[in-house]
Structure 1
């Protein structure tokens, strides 16, 4: 017996053929099933969907496929079914009925749903781990916490660059107060972020540089180039605001 259920119906939706798999799923013989419509086999809501699908197929003459939730009449089990329907034509090319094939794809559908949920969860985690926060007109802050590996470094660059462009920011503050370790890889990420942001016309302010971090950067010989550095987030924000309103703000001087 084929795992796929195969059937054929006339223009009124009455069954004229069903294979053994379909007969087993509805718990009927061919004699019992012949002439019956979906409204005599399935819940009304599902049968109505079948009717609408068939009407669309008869109108367009085009085959289609879909995945739908389905209750097995013989067992009451809820499954996901992939359905492919196509018109049946006579020798003159006129549509005289509908033929279809459907089969259980519950395991594949659930696996896909779980995969989508995992990806959505991962995306949420990524967003929470690299948030971009607008604090004033044309100023955004990205507080970084924890460890920055190669994957997260890529997320930082993508989120920062996309956010700067989307918000038309002029200053992006990267706060590394919560970063556990600053090594050459982290420093390279910061430099690349500054260069990328600079290419779209904005400036990076690096805040949260503790003495130990500053010493590490010196020992590594990292040239931060055009990145403005600051010991605290507050002083970095003050500097950014001064850049936005230079006429009304005092000269920033050295950043603490």
Structure 2
């Protein structure tokens, strides 16, 4: 018994063709559904989507939703990036496209363009689509970049203010030598914790550097002193005494005296009414501390 030639059997051939046709219809239906899904996805995207080859030629410009400040024009199709972009931008783009193809991975690029008199910023991801083409998704990040710039400017401004504040603290706590062994620190303005700390650091470093034996802290220019500031003055006096130097506070008003008296223990804090009185006091104390060098015969 021999096999039947399907060509000789029209019924069998017709059934085979109909089956193949049905199969093709199903494939077409699947492709149409996939295409419709892709179109819907693109229609929902506000980013620009480009398909380019390794030479930077625009192969496809899928339509996406409006919303991006700039999208490539339809007439870009068939042109190369060097035909429509500034040379520097085109070179950078092309390098990233070829890197994405060579490394078979997504490459991100951030770039700016001047359009309609303003600088716009974009973030683009180039992803390999084949051996010679990439799909590039570009997103407008201008607002993000502007916010980041505002943040950077704000941080720089805060740093500048801190530097100026530190400089003002230095200027507001001057240390004036009136003799080789006596220094004066006049304080002006409100004494908060930062001013107290700055005054103590400046005074201690100045005494150590000059090898001073006495320091006068004048608070005539301080409008008011609360308990915290009074405690700070006592702390300064104790720190100076640990260096072996004498400290005298001048410019004490009645209200300041009341605040200091409320502290109880003043840790050896010496006060005088005027700067002149303080100078006489420390000079007398220093004379008493000097050894008698007169030779005896």
TM category (shorter chain) comes to 0.5 to 0.7
Question: Structure 1 residues 15 and 226 mapped into 2: Cα distance closer, same or farther (>3 Å)?
Answer: farther
- Please report how far the alpha carbon of residue 112 of structure 1 lies from its aligned counterpart in structure 2 after TM superposition: 1.4
- For residues 4 and 140 of structure 1, the distance between their equivalents in structure 2, rounded to whole angstroms, comes to 69
- Residue in structure 1 matching 2:141, options 100, 103, 119: 103
Indicate the structure with greater strand content.
1
Tell me if structure 1 keeps the 8 A contact 2:185–2:203: no
- Please report how far the alpha carbon of residue 118 of structure 1 lies from its aligned counterpart in structure 2 after TM superposition: 4.4
1:76 aligns with 2:120: no
Question: Structure 1 residues 52 and 202 mapped into 2: Cα distance closer, same or farther (>3 Å)?
Answer: farther
Tell me if structure 2 keeps the 8 A contact 1:8–1:100: no
Question: Structure 1 residues 78 and 223 mapped into 2: Cα distance closer, same or farther (>3 Å)?
Answer: farther
- For residues 200 and 34 of structure 1, the distance between their equivalents in structure 2, rounded to whole angstroms, comes to 84
What are the residue-to-residue correspondences of 1:56-135 with 2, within 5 Å?
Answer: 70-73=112-115, 75-78=116-119, 81=121, 88=127, 101-104=139-142, 105-116=144-155, 118-120=157-159, 122-124=161-163, 126-131=165-170, 132-133=173-174
Which runs of no fewer than 5 residues in structure 1 stay unpaired? none
Of residues 229-238 and 117-126 in structure 1, the stretch that sits farther from structure 2 once superposed is 229-238
Give CA-to-partner distance per residue, 1:189-239, whole Å, 9 cap, x none: 3334556x5699686846443242552244323433155656566887999
What are the residue-to-residue correspondences of 1:197-236 with 2, within 5 Å?
Answer: 197=239, 205=247, 207-212=249-254, 215-227=257-269, 229=271
Three-state SS of the structure 2 residue aligned to 1:188 is: helix
- For residues 162 and 62 of structure 1, the distance between their equivalents in structure 2, rounded to whole angstroms, comes to 55
Tell me if structure 2 keeps the 8 A contact 1:205–1:236: no
Higher RCO by CA contacts (8 Å cutoff, separation 6 or greater): 1
**Root-mean-square deviation over aligned CA pairs:** 5.7
What are the residue-to-residue correspondences of 1:102-251 with 2, within 5 Å?
Answer: 102-104=140-142, 105-116=144-155, 118-120=157-159, 122-124=161-163, 126-131=165-170, 132-133=173-174, 143-148=186-191, 152-153=192-193, 155-160=194-199, 170=208, 174-193=217-236, 197=239, 205=247, 207-212=249-254, 215-227=257-269, 229=271, 250-251=287-288
Tell me if structure 2 keeps the 8 A contact 1:54–1:98: no
Three-state SS of the structure 2 residue aligned to 1:130 is: helix
Indicate the structure with greater helix content.
2
Aligned length: 231
- Structure 1 partner of 2:76: 32
Question: Structure 1 residues 91 and 10 mapped into 2: Cα distance closer, same or farther (>3 Å)?
Answer: closer
TM-score under structure 2 normalisation? Answer: 0.48
Tell me if structure 1 keeps the 8 A contact 2:69–2:140: no
- Higher radius of gyration, 1 or 2: 2
Give CA-to-partner distance per residue, 1:108-156, whole Å, 9 cap, x none: 13531452254245425532542254656999876533223xxx31x23
Question: Structure 1 residues 176 and 113 mapped into 2: Cα distance closer, same or farther (>3 Å)?
Answer: farther
TM-score under structure 1 normalisation? Answer: 0.54
